[in-house]
Amino acid sequence: MSRSAGDHERTRDVRGNRSTPEAPLSLRERNKLRTRRELLDAALEVFSEQGFGSATVEAIAARAGASKVTVYSYFPRGREELFQELYEEINTELIERATTLYDEEGGPFARICGLVEIVIDVASRPRIGRFYSIDDPSLDAALDPVRGHASGVFIKLMSEDIEAGRVAGTLRATTEADSIARLLVGAMRAALTETARRPDRAGELLAAFADLVRGLVV
């Protein structure tokens, strides 16, 4: 990850004390980070084109212009580790954008619809969308450590919104907020998969999801 000039300024630690500035990365460290990123980018291309089951470390190495030994030196568990790291990068983006959305002004309807806009935006990026929507039984073991991170945060945020709206009388909900939120996440996942397959349907899917959420509004 590249660093801005501000990253080298003195910062405060959690106790408010002045902490020492981070030392700039050496050339060797920068080269290692660049190689790692190149391997991840190559893996994203291969996974998005071939899926998980058909992707091989050899194909990823060839795409990156590296050797198989280099891939394993950076990712000892091979394609599973590569897949997990890429998947978690997308999880992190979704979580950060969702958290930012919920820090802003707005009501439950706008926020919940805003979440699906974030999901569809990610799905609209050709390689990212195809990668994140891969559905392959052989992925179960690889996905277990990172599965549900983003959806768990989305469910929590929406559950709190739905429950608050029910108490305030602004949302029509007779079942548990968590159950409704989980169903909405399922709809988001369907929208992600369809957008990755058919990017031209993004606007239609956004409108359909808004209609679905509008049914909750009193």
Could you tell me which residues are beta bridge partners of residue 171? 217
Residue at 158: amino acid letter: M
From 1.10.357.10, 3.40.640.10, 1.20.1250.20, 3.40.50.11030, which CATH number describes the 80-214 domain? 1.10.357.10
Enter the tokens of residue 163. 């429950």
Domain ranges for the chain, please list them: 80-214
Helix runs in 65-148, H state only: 68-74, 79-103, 108-123, 126-132, 140-143
CA dist 140 → 32, 130, 147, 151, 153 (Å): 30, 17, 9, 16, 21
Q: What are phi and psi of 171, to 5 degrees?
A: -120, 140
124-151 pLDDT tens trace: 999 999 999 998 887 887 788 888 999 9
pLDDT in tens, 141-183: 778 888 899 999 999 999 999 999 888 888 888 889 999 999 9
With residue 63 as reference, give the H or E element that holds it: helix 57-64
Count of residues in the chain: 218
